[in-house]
Structure 1
Amino acid sequence: MPTKKVTTNGTEVAIFDNAVIYKRGEYWHFRYWLTKERKYARFSLRTTNLNTAKVKAEGHYHELKAKEYAGITHFSKTAKDGVAMYLAKREKDIDINITKGRFSTIKTHLEHWLNYIKRDTKLKELQITDCEDYYLKRVEGKTKKQTLSATTVENEQSTINAMMKWLYKHKETNLESFEFTKLKRVDRGDESLRRNSFTDDEIKRIGIELDKYIAEALQRINETGNLVKAIAGYYFVISIMFGLRRGEQIQLEWSDYEEFEHKVAKKDYNLVKLTVRAEISKVNKTRRIVEKDIGYFDDLFKLQYPRITAYQKSKPKDEQKKFANTLIFSPNGDTAISNRAIAYHFDKIIKLAKIENIEKRNIVPYSFRHYYITQKVNSGLVPTSVAEIAGTSTTQIENTYYHTTDAKLIANAFAGYVIKDGLLIPT
């Protein structure tokens, strides 16, 4: 495309300043020089008649002039270009104010938006109402197994508008944000909308099966697949104990783990403290969690230490890591256990423990975190304390987990009484 104004020749007809119509084959075309953008705007007039061509060209001319007066450029980057620009900017923010996990989430959210808006859509042509049907399109065709929560869509919409605000600041769009259709307020008391968790009885059964699962793997630890099987078993046990997010747990290093003793009422307790570093935390904030030690970390340490140290010594000296800096849930200390392995062994454990209605309840590995948080809530901890332990906001805890469980309802019904020998006795 030419980068400067050109003069007319015998086949061109000047109609306005910087504008001409010209023939290409039998048909007339329009060309207008955009001074600020230093490019030509070109349109096919789709007519062989000169007078008709002049009328159509005049319409294009006035439209372009109106854009110029309004400060709107004619040429525009595509939605795909805009997303790429924004992601490049956000990638630079990793370890400054976002984590790698958060960046991955932003990338996923914007990929869904591109599928909706179409990748070749011009940024300058976007209208404020273009995303009114975003929620409907996102849930379209989803099966019961593929349920998509309103909260998930709201989070996507927030990411999209954050990008639009940034693009608007950099003069790549003509609008600062979309007006999404407001979603129905979620009924936090609706049983079906609670976080999908386990019952206490199910966790007991899962715990029993996990002990067997780990023991079986340890008996033949050198057989193919058994090391990962054992690590997966420990991963689930510790997930139940600490309620970490997957992205946080798989990035834990041995330096993040600490054992110590604490005396309460003249009784000694063995405790474990895990440090979730800011760089691996979803919320980019360091937190520490202390729970009672029931021996699993010590067993995992005994399994991992000789193997990982031997592997590290086999590497070139400049690539070796100290054991403290290796990953806890990893066959070699360098590469974390895969999502596929976690999903595979989770399904095995769930079947062994005979957990029912998995699909209907949407039970997944993350459900261990839901169970952990629910237990903290039911123990009487205030929302602020639970939020601090879980690495989330107080509002999130209040809205999502402070539902009335059956256990709470029964306890409330018998407030002020104890049951003894089948009889209700006032306390």
Structure 2
Amino acid sequence: MDVADLQNWTNTLKELESLGIKSDDLLRVGRKVSEEKKKAGLLSQQIAKGKENKVTTNKIRVFDHDPYCTIFQDGRNTKNKTWSVRIWDPKRKKPTTRSLRTIDQSTALTLARDIYMKFSTRGAIRLSTDSITTKELVALYIQNRRGEVSDNNQEGITPRSLNALEQRLKHWMDYIDEKGYGKAHIENIPPELGLKFAQWIKDRKITTGKRLGERKKRSNRTINQCVSATKGMYHQLALQEGHITANEMPKFTYLKKNKDQVSPKQILQKDELSLLMKWMKDKYARESADITNKEYIKRRIFNLTFTIHYLTGMRNGELLGTKWSDIRPARETSKGGQDNMVITIVGTEEKRGKTRSLVAPIKQQLERIKYWYGMLGHHVEPYSDEFVFLKLTTSGIENGDPQTQKVLGDRLKDVLKGATEDKYCPLNLTNKNIQLYSARHYYITDLLFKGVDFHTIAKQVGTGSTYIDEHYSHLVPEMKQEEICNAAKDQDNLIMKFRK
């Protein structure tokens, strides 16, 4: 330092002292600046060596021209310094990382290049922790659908439908496990594997229920529902959320459906229904010697429920979801139509989610139900929001719980068995597969034979005219038997004359 610099420094000190700044203060500031410079120098050295943080260390570009794909090692205290790849996803604006499971740098670079090429050609889908197995896909899909649960099937999925969906998707998980892809990521499963899925279900033994161990008892319609559920899962989740590409979607085939959806074995004939209802009235509900009074009342109510079901043709859920507030007398009734009632089926109980009204001559049956409820100590308030068909237990009546399909179905089986085994009843239903839903089939068939047009029937039962035509068209010859047989007789006369 020369004399001029020393003089300038002295003048600067005097000026600072005049401002109240002492020399000790200057020393402290200087030391602080010196320390910060040292830290900055050390940080620059660490950055140059690729050690800017403890987690990502030794970063190396996989391609010199591409800064978005690098390999790195974990800088934390781990035993094995394995390499990982990091790829920046510009579409989702976040990185994708994946362990390469090797400590060799050359091998890591080779693996990283292969992954990056797959990443680019597959449209930058998730390849790290987002790669999922079939089991994980099903679990994630069910979790998403569970958030859509609603009592109205038009606003979401009902709890019953969700349970059925889980059962259908279980077939796909079992199929994938059997084929050896249970632990494979879904993008690595051959798409053509799904082509034999439907036939695999067809040949599979039944694993639950009363038909345990049986083979080839599932209908093609049921099997196709399983295929549709699986296909929907891949479209709605795996494809839309980028777990797979369109080329990696499984391919499926459907089994041919039986066009005769409604078998005669599912429907009671008119004389059979008459015999059954007579037996229910005269025998089933009058065997009071061997049953309790409460059981006697339950049988009476079941008989009335059975009759109303066959007079309305409602779906099982619609019937049991009916409330007293949904029923009113018909506005205009012709002579003899005083028993006609209008039932409004609200959208939450209707399969299509559309509110509709139907008419049926059920006034007397409803009044008798009220009477038997009174015998159980329960009073029905007119036009209340209480269910018409209650669960006939003490708590069920007190809480106003609706009757269940299982209870009605089990009681129907007992009735059918009792009528068939009664030697005094000429009814034999051994080869009939009569269920609760058979009431709807009978109702539609009966209206067709009475000449009601398809459109009116469709409005009454809540379906489309096309459905009526497709499922019940086989009845047309029998419905037109008079015209057909008369025409045949005329032809027969011509044949006889020709022979003479």
Scaled by the length of structure 2, what TM-score is found? 0.65
Instruction: Tell me whether 1:42 sits opposite 2:113 in the alignment.
Output: no
Q: Residues 72, 267 of structure 1: CA spacing in aligned structure 2 closer, same or farther, 3 A cutoff?
A: closer
Whether 2:405 is the aligned partner of 1:339: answer yes
Which residue of 486, 492, 495 maps to 1:415?
486
Q: Which residue of 2 is the match for residue 316 of structure 1?
A: none
1:108 is displaced (CA, Å) by 1.0
Give the stretch that moved more between structures: 28-37 or 398-407.
28-37
List aligned pairs for 1:245-260, cutoff 5 A: 245-260=315-330
Shift of 1:155: 3.8
Check whether the contact 2:324–2:386 (CA below 8 A) recurs between aligned residues.
yes
Q: Using the TM superposition, give the Cα deviation of residue 346 of structure 1 relative to its aligned residue in structure 2, in angstroms.
A: 0.7
| CA deviation profile, 1:300-356 (whole Å, cap 9, x unmatched) | 02222575756x9xxxxxxxx987111111131621223332122111110233254
Shift of 1:240: 1.2
Q: Structure 1, residues 86-143: CA drift from partner, whole Å, max 9, x if none? A: 3135326x53824765x52254134312331358775555665453233223332256
- Partner deviation per Cα, 1:277-301 (whole Å, 9 max, x = no partner): 1111111111211122372211002
1:381-409 deviations in whole A, cap 9, x for unaligned? 33222222121222222221221377447
Gap change, CA 1:97 and 1:123, over 3 Å in 2? farther
Larger strand proportion, structure 1 or 2?
A: 1
* 1:372 maps onto 2:428 in alignment: no
Larger proportion of helix: 2
- Aligned CA distance change for structure 1 residues 162 and 305 (closer, same or farther; 3 Å): farther
1:144-188 deviation line (CA, Å, top 9, x unaligned): 798333233334444444444332334454349754213325344
Q: 2:195 aligns with which of 124, 132, 157?
A: 132
Change (3 A) 1:42 1:127: same
Distance 1:67 1:305, change over 3 A: farther
Q: Bigger CA drift: 210-219 or 376-385?
A: 210-219
Q: Does 1:293 align with 2:337?
A: no
Q: 2:303 matched to which residue of 1?
A: 233
Deviation at 1:272? 2.1
Residue 58 of structure 1 is matched in structure 2 by 110
- The CA deviation at 1:202 is 1.5
Distance 2:57 2:79 in 1: 21
Q: How much does 1:271 deviate?
A: 1.0
Q: What amino acid maps onto 2:140 in structure 1?
A: G
In structure 2, the partner of 1:87 is 145
Alignment of 1:128-277 (within 5 A): 128-139=191-202, 140-142=204-206, 147-167=217-237, 168-175=239-246, 179-184=251-256, 186-188=258-260, 196-212=266-282, 215-216=285-286, 223-260=293-330, 263-264=333-334, 267-277=336-346
Q: Is the 8 A contact 1:80 1:120 kept in 2?
A: no
Which 5+ residue runs of structure 2 have no aligned equivalent?
1-52, 64-68, 175-181, 421-426, 490-500
The structure 2 residue matched to 1:19, chosen from 58, 71, 74, is: 71
Aligned 8 A contact 1:218 1:230 in 2: no
CA distance in 2, matches of 1:242, 1:199: 17
Q: Distance in 1 between matches of 2:70 and 2:367?
A: 79
Residue of structure 2 in register with 1:31 after alignment: 84
User: For residues 215 and 319 of structure 2, what CA distance do their matches in structure 1 show?
Assistant: 26
Q: Is the 8 A contact 1:309 1:323 kept in 2?
A: no
Q: Give structure 1 stretches of 5+ with no counterpart.
A: 313-320, 419-427
1:7 pairs with 50, 57, 71, which one?
A: 57
Q: Tell me the distance in 1 between the aligned counterparts of 2:141 and 2:183.
A: 11
How many angstroms apart in 2 are the aligned matches of 1:308 and 1:67? 71
Q: Which has the higher contact order (CA 8 A, sep 6+)?
A: 1
Residues 66/123 of structure 1: CA separation in 2 closer, same or farther (3 Å cut): closer
User: Matched residues in 2 for 1:120 and 1:324: separation?
Assistant: 55
The verdict on how the C-alpha distance between 1:156 and 1:230 changes in structure 2, with shifts beyond 3 A counting, is: farther
Give me the CA root mean square deviation: 4.2
Q: Which moved more, 1:77-86 or 1:250-259?
A: 77-86
Alpha-carbon distance change, 246 to 222 in structure 1, aligned in 2, over 3 angstroms: same
Q: How far apart are the structure 2 equivalents of 1:325 and 1:120?
A: 52
Partner of 1:423: none
Selected match of 1:392 from 434, 452, 463: 463
Change over 3 Å in CA distance of 1:272–1:284 after alignment to 2 = same
Partner of residue 318, structure 1: none
Amino acid at match of 1:337: Q
2:148 touches 2:156 (CA, 8 Å); kept in 1?
no
Query: Which of the pair has more CA radius of gyration?
Result: 2
More moved, 300-309 vs 387-396: 300-309
Residue identity matched to 2:119: K
Q: Compute the TM-score of the two structures, normalised by the length of structure 1.
A: 0.74
Distance 1:293 1:162 in 2: 42
User: How many Å separate the matches in 2 of 1:334 and 1:345?
Assistant: 20
Amino acid at match of 2:412: F
Asked if residue 97 in structure 1 is aligned to residue 180 in structure 2, the reply is: no
Contact 1:254 1:327 in 2 (8 A): yes
Tell me the residue number matched to 1:111: 167
* Deviation larger for 254-263 or 291-300: 254-263
Mark the CA change 1:415 to 1:99 in structure 2 (over 3 Å): closer, same or farther: farther
> How many percent of aligned residue pairs carry the same amino acid?
14
Secondary structure of 1:337 counterpart: coil
